[in-house]
Structure formats: C-alpha cells, structure tokens
Amino acid sequence: MRYTDTRLLDALASAYVLGTLEGGARRRFERLQRDRVDVRALVAQWEQRLGQLALSVPARQPSANLWRAIEARTRPAAQHKASTSRWPAWLRPAGFGFGGVVAGVIAASALFLSAPGLFITNDQLAMRSGERLPQSYVGVLTDAQGQGRLLVSSLRHGKTLTLKVLGTAPLTSALGSDERLVLWALPADGVPFAIGTVPASGTQVSALPDTSEKLLSKVSRLVVTRERTATPSAPSAEVVLSGSCAKLW
C-alpha cells in the first residue's frame, strides 16, 4: 500500500488514536509514524481533538458487576475457585508479591509527578488538564467576501504545517492550467517568504524548513496569491485569500 492519499492517512491516524486500528495494520502505521513527520503531525492533531472530547465526558464509577464480568473473562474458572486471596489476580502477577506491585506503582507515580515531561510534553499535560490547547500558530484566511476558506495551523515548535480548505467549493476552480495558489508569510518588518502551495480541497500536511517558532514568530499576516511561476520570489498583486497569523499561548 502506498501512503500518499491524505484522506487515507487522516482516517488511519484517527483510528489509531481511537484505538480501533488493530493487528498488522496498527503495527504498519506505527512504523510509518517513525519514518514520516507528516504522519506524526496527523496523530498529534487527532490526539488534540479527541483529548478535548475526553475532557468533556464526566467520570463514571464502574459497577461491581462490571468488575466481576471482567474477572470472569480474564481468569479461568478453576483459578478463580482456587484463589483464596482477597486481592484480584491482576494485583498478584507471577514472580512478584503484592508488596512489589505497590512499590512499583508508588515509584512510577512519584516519577510521573516529579517529572511528567518524561512521559508527555508540557503542552499535552496542559491540554489533558483542560488548561489550554497546545501552543500553536494559527491563521484563518478569508476571501474577498469575508468567507473563511483556509485554515493554517502549526505547533509552535513543530516542523510541519497543516492546510485545511474550508467549504465545499475547491479553491482552484478559477485557476488556469499554468497557475497555482501559493501561501505567503508577511513579517511585520521583513521580506515576505513563500511557505508552500495550497491544495484545491481537503487537508494537506507539509514539512517546514525549520520550526514554526523560528519561521512565524514575527509574522503578522498570511496571504494566498495566484502565481504563474513554479518558484515565485515575491507575492503577486493577485491576492486570493488573506488573514492574520495568531499565536495561541
């Protein structure tokens, strides 16, 4: 399978984060993550979306019947009858006493509380606690009628940029065969520079030459122009979309 379709990658990333991607497909996707930065960015985006959904769901105490059903399915009947300990089997793994399990849990908890950054990033920690979304650069570009048509986003210290076309009409419907749409960053006191081409529809994830912090920290506006050359050195006067570049932190 060739992983070039952005819609396929987005579907796989969502299934991976939800936990519904299993078996060989999950192992192949994990190998793909290690090799491709754009796939890791898609996974991070789905973790951000679903993490917020998880925070909105109230906690529920499982019933005693649920625990008994889990125990019945995970422990053979003979073992269940032979067991005289009041502790569940999962608290008594082979080769370890209950004291060893408790000590391990205490040690792991202490390490997590003293250095949570070893397990998750500061942004992920803040997101899961409901404090804020991950630090990002975000822009919503509008057309001449003021309609939002393009969402631009990148994690503050990330090296990928996500472009999502908004609405159902493709952006390139009025372009000639030799024309393309190019996204430009306009620094407050600097020379505009091209970030990349804009897709006709859907979502596109592209690699950046450096972190967003270094590239966009002084950028105040983003524009999309109609260009007739493959590598334009400056934006043309034909501005199709424009919007502010905002910092979310």
Domain shared by 32 and 100, yes or no = no
Q: Is the pLDDT of residue 39 over 60?
A: yes
Q: Is residue 184 assigned to a domain?
A: yes
Is 96 a residue whose pLDDT tops 50? no
* CB within 8 Å of 147: residues ≥ 6 apart: 167
Residue 181, pLDDT score:
93
How confident is residue 53, by pLDDT bands cut at 50, 70 and 90?
Answer: low
Q: How far apart are CA 13 and CA 217, in angstroms?
A: 29
Pair 163, 226 in one domain: yes
Top pLDDT among 79 and 159 is at: 159
Task: Report pLDDT digits (tens) over 137-154.
Answer: 888 898 888 888 898 989
Tell me the whole-structure pTM to 2 decimals: 0.50
| pLDDT at residue number 55 | 55
117-118-119-121 Cα dihedral, nearest 10 degrees: 30
Whether 180 and 93 map to the same domain: the answer is: no
Share of the chain above pLDDT 70, in %: 70
Sign of CA pseudo-dihedral 224, 226, 228, 234? negative
Q: Judge contact between 197 and 227, C-beta under 8 A.
A: no
Q: Say yes or no: 115 and 13 in one domain.
A: no
Residue-number span of the structural domain to which 110 is assigned: 84-132
The total number of structural domains in the chain stands at 3
